[in-house]
Amino acid sequence: MSTVLITGANRGLGFEFCHQYAAAGWNVLACCRRPQAAKNLEALAVRQPGISLHALDVADHRQIERLAGELGGRAIDVLLNNAGVYGDSKPNAFGSIDYDRWLEVFRINTLAPVKLAETLLPHIMRSQRKLIVAITSLMGSMTDNSSGGAILYRSSKAALNAAMKSLAIDLRGRGVGVLILHPGWVKTDMGGTNAPTSPEESIAGMRRVIDQFTLEASGRFFNFKGQEQPW
């Protein structure tokens, strides 16, 4: 049975990833900042026993190392770096940027997926699939940026893409793949109610892309429909 580790599993896209992977018979290591407050996830884990809950603030490197220790010799087929924050807002825009907040957005959106990959590489190497997935955003694309703004978010996702592209090259020789995925604009707390795509549709699409992954696709940038995206 395959195992997926999902960050930010308590709500939004992370929660739907847990739901769909567990329904498909996978073991799901569902990570979130406060498992004791994650009532929906707890209820899901009761209904779908393949899910286990783990405390993880992805910005805290000691917690990442502790989790790796707790997992011992377990194999992780897919490391799903999903947790993310937007960070931008009207009061936090050019002219009054909160630079500490910008660094925090980078810690969560950019540094954490790399630190997780670094720390959990032995677990990934032990698995059949050996895949690292980064949930990025088309907002990190230079080519697609025609509206400006969102400096914190755009820059953190562009940097995530650059880091993951390098990882794809660096890890290819060890048979480890890296997939860079845009989930679409999705109805979640982050995406808002005007988003055209449901979490169910986005996750079903991304699972299909993940399922069909071969090393030939490593380091490439796709959306949830499997269409290649511009950097």
Ligand X SMILES: NC(=O)c1ccc[n+]([C@@H]2O[C@H](COP(=O)([O-])OP(=O)(O)OC[C@H]3O[C@@H](n4cnc5c(N)ncnc54)[C@H](OP(=O)(O)O)[C@@H]3O)[C@@H](O)[C@H]2O)c1
Residue numbers of the site for ligand X (CB under 6 A)?
A: 7-8, 10-14, 32-33, 56-59, 82-85, 108, 135, 137, 182-183, 185-186, 188-191, 195
Q: Is the dihedral of CA 139, 141, 146, 150 positive or negative?
A: positive
Q: To the nearest whole angstrom, how small is the minimum distance from the Cβ of residue 200 to ligand X?
A: 13
Number of other residues whose CB lies within 10 A of the CB of residue 1: 7
Closest approach of Cβ 173 to ligand X, in Å?
28
Please, which residue, 6 or 128, has the CB nearer to ligand X? 6
Nearer to ligand X, 77 or 88 (CB): 88
Pick the closer one to ligand X by CB: 54 or 123: 54
Q: How far is the CB of 153 from ligand X (least distance, A)?
A: 7
> What's the Cα-to-Cα distance from 215 to each of 77, 177, 179, 219, 220, rounded to whole Å?
14, 6, 9, 9, 10
Structure tokens at 178: 């890296």
Identity of the residue, 67 or 217, whose beta carbon is nearer to ligand X in the bound complex = 67
Cα–Cα dist 32/67, whole Å: 12
Sign of CA dihedral 189, 66, 132, 1: negative
Q: Tell me the C-alpha distance between 124 and 164, whole Å.
A: 15
Minimal distance, residue 160 CB to ligand X, in Å: 9
Minimum CB distance to ligand X, residue 77 (Å)? 20
β-pair partners for 39:
none
In the complex, minimum distance from the CB of residue 221 to ligand X, in angstroms, rounded to a whole number: 12
d(CA 212, CA 215): 10
Question: Which CB atom, from 176 or from 186, has the smaller least distance to ligand X?
Answer: 186
Nearer to ligand X, 126 or 220 (CB): 220
Does an H or E element contain 15, and which? helix 12-23
